[in-house]
Structure 1
């Protein structure tokens, strides 16, 4: 176990596979002990058949959480071993029914006795250990069902990479990036409109001089994301969050979230009580981000954009 102590939790899968191999090797010896000509991998399917006299392969797969092709392969192996019959007579010809043969039923009696002894052995092992592995496995299965290991690793990756992201205030040197990043995403999904060019060609006049702000996200000193806070002439809203764009090559680093958080913070510092935005529902990641930031759907305001089909607001607390 020196390797696992050295590598740590990164080798979780390898360590579980090693333990599985050890237990599987012992399982084969246990079947020999009970004079059962049986392969350990057959057990979930075989045990299900001991409870159900007749059942379909699909039903077995659903019961034990295996794929249908995997169950089909095991059933074929057990048919070859003389333990299972398939294509049994049924009123529904579409259902491929399988059941234990006489040989399989005789073997099931041996395996039931074996299960009693194995259960007692595992209970003994649990009583000798400081941690209940069986209970822990059940807990881990539940937690991984809620959020997979892949998603958890991806979150950690985003958190680590986001530490290399800087959110800074706009300066004229970033005008080209501000326009290019917005043109890139707008042109990918829609068409550039007159209102776009007004803001992107003249950010100082259209946004900054009117009391707004533009924030730029730098990743390793390269501008990869932008977002604007535009002053509104509306009795209900102080500012609009607009012109958020993140380079495709920098996505997955939580840059949109960091920009959104920073924009909300700036709006609050400027005394805003409500923040407004416009978007389109085909931009699902963006809509999810806005919901995560606390925005909720509203309607009724006139919009200069043809592409807008959803309006949202955030009440700043």
Structure 2
């Protein structure tokens, strides 16, 4: 599933989908069993039966829902005859929710249905169901101890002080070379055979013959990459420049480019060129600012079907 690939970023959406699935399943069970309640009513009705008359505010805290959500749910339960609002005998200025006789009867008949729900979930989900319940318990406790918003904003402040650094190729980063380049190739063009060959063996095809691969790191996250491919006789191709589109504005592309040019100069290379496509306007502008000059025609014998721009480095 797509959302699973986003991990923590889609946690709320994934839990919402699971919640909807469970609500719908239990509602179907209630209807099939002739029960007169809905799945969303359960926490309020059960709490009123187990604890007794309760204010909307206290109920919201107890079941972890907003005051507004509980108030709206209470309105529906009053309409259904399951709950009534009464004056609090201890404080006449406020009202409490009270389970009605109809509500008591409805809950009193649901024991076999709830047992079926418990056993059906155990059969359907197996040990993973218990693991999910334990994980939810752990999440609730952790969030109570360290509120999520505060934790995220603290991280945001820390990240605002982070800067992009460029590091040379490391085997542990190999997969990011493929990931970052495949990301933009699939979005704008297609992955060609020459690309697949380089992704499969970047050490053998780029590093070993005298080239280099660089990675841009932001707070330890790999956000960009580029390569210098040695064509022989001091001629290098700047290639496979890819920056994660979620990290634009950090200057990662320019830092990678500057590092590649510095590496080329240190080795007293004879020529540095690149091939690109006219659709990539922002990238072409960056190359021009760095000292690359567009040539009138495409490079003879180009490896890439997508290439319609040929640029040679003339110095900034």
Class of the TM-score when normalised by the shorter of the 2 chains: 0.3 to 0.5
- In the superposition, the TM-score normalised over structure 1's length comes to 0.47
- In the superposition, the TM-score normalised over structure 2's length comes to 0.47
